[in-house]
């Protein structure tokens, strides 16, 4: 018998199958796409809440930086009104709305990082509007009251305060 030679055997090259197409993706890619989409929605929601919180906080702190006053009694009244508005917004209304006098100042001190509402010149906030007398605050006392109010506002506009506010359905 004779050995086959190249010329007698008609061999063809090996044909590989066509490469896999990119569409449709494998199930793992679908799962990854869904997970990334859910993650994107979750991160977008967190970013939106954070932006809303930052806007609210800036607005509140801006209010505590700009007081339009004619006299010192009006200045003291404005600070008290803004503090009460913020306190009623952030804390339960039944806890804050009925507070007056020294109880109001003690509440402010209790919920402050920097104490000082039960001392002068902050005591004038509860005395001056009702005394009927002219009050003369120095510029140092004015700045001290503004700083005290701003510190209280900063301390009480943290994320946990904003979360309580959102749970109340305000904003």
| pLDDT tens column, 66-89 | 877 678 888 888 888 999 989 988
CA neighbor of 91 nearest in space, from 155, 25, 2 = 155
pLDDT lower than 70: segments of the chain: 1-8, 69, 168-171
pTM of the complete model: 0.70
The pLDDT score that the predictor gives to residue 127 is 81
Determine, yes or no, domain membership for 48: no
Q: Would 86 be classed as within a structural domain?
A: yes
Position 169 scores a pLDDT of 66
Assigned domain for 32 exists:
no
- Quick check: is 166 in a domain? yes
pLDDT at 136 (0 to 100):
80
Domain assignment present for residue 40? The answer is no
| Residue 43 belongs to a domain | no
Q: How far is the C-alpha of 150 from the C-alpha of 56, rounded, in Å? A: 15
Q: What confidence score (pLDDT) does residue 103 get? A: 92
- For residue 25, what is the DSSP state? P
**Per-residue b or e along 132-146, where b marks 16 or more CB atoms closer than 10 Å to that residue's CB:** eeebebeeebbebbb
8 A C-beta contact, residue 64 and residue 149: yes
- Number of domains composing the chain: 1
Q: Tell me if 15 is assigned to some domain.
A: no
Asked whether residue 7 is assigned to any structural domain, the reply reads no
- Domain carrying residue 117: 70-171
């Amino acid at each position: 018998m004779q050995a086959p030679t190249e010329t007698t055997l008609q061999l063809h090259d090996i044909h590989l199958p066509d490469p896999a197409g990119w569409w449709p993706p494998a199930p793992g890619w679908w799962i990854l796409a869904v997970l990334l989409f859910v993650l994107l929605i979750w991160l977008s929601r967190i970013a939106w809440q954070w932006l809303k919180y930052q806007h609210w906080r800036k607005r509140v702190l801006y209010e505590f930086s700009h007081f339009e006053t004619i006299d010192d009694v009006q200045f003291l009244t404005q600070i008290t009104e803004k503090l009460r508005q913020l306190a009623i917004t952030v804390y339960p209304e039944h806890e804050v709305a009925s507070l007056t006098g020294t109880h109001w100042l003690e509440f402010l001190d209790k919920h402050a990082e920097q104490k000082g509402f039960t001392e002068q010149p902050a005591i004038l906030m509860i005395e001056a509007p009702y005394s009927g007398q002219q009050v003369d605050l120095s510029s140092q006392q004015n700045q001290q009251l503004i700083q005290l109010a701003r510190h209280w506002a900063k301390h009480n506009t943290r994320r946990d305060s904003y979360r309580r506010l959102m749970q109340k359905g305000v904003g």
